[in-house]
Amino acid sequence: MSVKSKLYEGKAKILYSTSEESVLLADFKDDATAFNAQKRGSIKNKGSINCRISTKIFQYLANKGIKTHFIDSPAPNQMLVKAVKILPLEVVVRNIAAGSLCKQTGLTLGTVLSEPLVEFYYKNDDLGDPLLTRDRLRLLDLATPEQVETIAHLALQIDRLLIDFFRRCNITLVDFKLEFGLNSQAELILADEISPDTCRLWDNSIETDTENNLDSRVLDKDRFRRDLGKVEDAYEEVLKRVLSKLDGE
Ligand code: C5P
């Protein structure tokens, strides 16, 4: 198989067509953006770290029966994926209050939610990715009501699997974002990536009490967003734990 032409360049990945019509090559970049690209930077080796973490997670999810776009990883920062039509939705699942949930509702950072919260955001940079209601999803015809329910069900199933995955890495899964696409048979499959760019991950090996600041536990992109320092170290640490805990599973 050979790489043909550049199809699309996003904030974190470049997509290329290949000699096989149904297969694309995703090249993971070191570029980092936050707050709808108002903050820009670069995280050393992020492309290969995120690609390797995503590869492990997609393989794990596939073993548990979740359909994903992952085919293979021919190089540390490259992934061969099935071509899908991406739905313009960012599906966020939250187990613990953080980020925009705290900002918009006043919930205290670190509040454990009594059940996981599934949210849909409109993937639209010009509009700043607004939070959608079920009625707005229907109004904008972004997905059918059946697709919305299937996605919500899949998101909760993936949440349970990922909580378990990260628990075995001594990491708490606070929240994460998923994207779904439709394959040629109009089936919904999990796409994009799952990495410290798209998840909030808190280190369980660092003790904090209510007096102490939770920031010392952060192993994800919040270190970049909030200038907490040691960004590369955090990404490397997640990769190390994911590889050592799950190789061979
Ligand atoms: O910012 P917010 O609290 O809504 O983010 C929730 C989760 O979704 C976080 O894990 C964040 O990293 C992820 N996210 C993302 N891409 C976005 C927005 C949020 O990966 N565009």
Q: For 53-100, how does the pLDDT look when each residue is reduced to its tens digit (9 = 90+)?
A: 999 999 999 999 999 999 999 999 999 999 999 999 999 999 999 999
Looking from the CA of residue 98, the nearest atom of ligand 1 is 3
Looking from the CA of residue 100, the nearest atom of ligand 1 is 3
Q: Tell me the pLDDT of the chain averaged across its residues.
A: 95
Rg (CA), the chain: 18
Looking from the CA of residue 99, the nearest atom of ligand 1 is 3
Looking from the CA of residue 199, the nearest atom of ligand 1 is 10
- Give me the interface pTM, i.e. the ipTM: 0.99
Cβ of 92 less than 6 Å from ligand 1:
yes
Cβ of 176 less than 6 Å from ligand 1:
yes
Question: Which residue's CA is minimally distant from atom 12 of ligand 1?
Answer: 198
Buried b (16+ CB within 10 A) or exposed e, 18-31: beeeebbbbbbbbb
CATH architecture of 86-230: 2-Layer Sandwich (3.30)
Residue type, 221: K
pLDDT given for residue 3 in this prediction:
87
pLDDT in tens, 5-17: 999 999 999 999 9
Residue 124 and residue 19: Cα distance in Å, rounded? Answer: 30
Distance of CA 93 from the midpoint of ligand 1 (Å): 9
User: Which residues have CB under 8 Å from 31's CB, separation 6+?
Assistant: 11, 12, 40, 41, 42, 46
Instruction: Please give the CATH topology (third level) of the domain spanning 3-83.
Output: Phosphorylase Kinase; domain 1 (3.30.200)
Cβ of 199 less than 6 Å from ligand 1:
yes
Give yes or no for residue 246 having a pLDDT over 70: no
pTM of the complete model: 0.96
Distance of CA 2 from the midpoint of ligand 1 (Å): 34
Buried b (16+ CB within 10 A) or exposed e, 213-242: ebeebbbbbbbbbeeeeebbebbbbbbebb
Residue 76 and residue 54: Cα distance in Å, rounded? Answer: 11
The answer to whether residues 152 and 143 touch, using CB atoms and an 8 Å cutoff, is no
Cβ of 223 less than 6 Å from ligand 1:
no
Domain segments of the chain as ranges: 3-83, 86-230
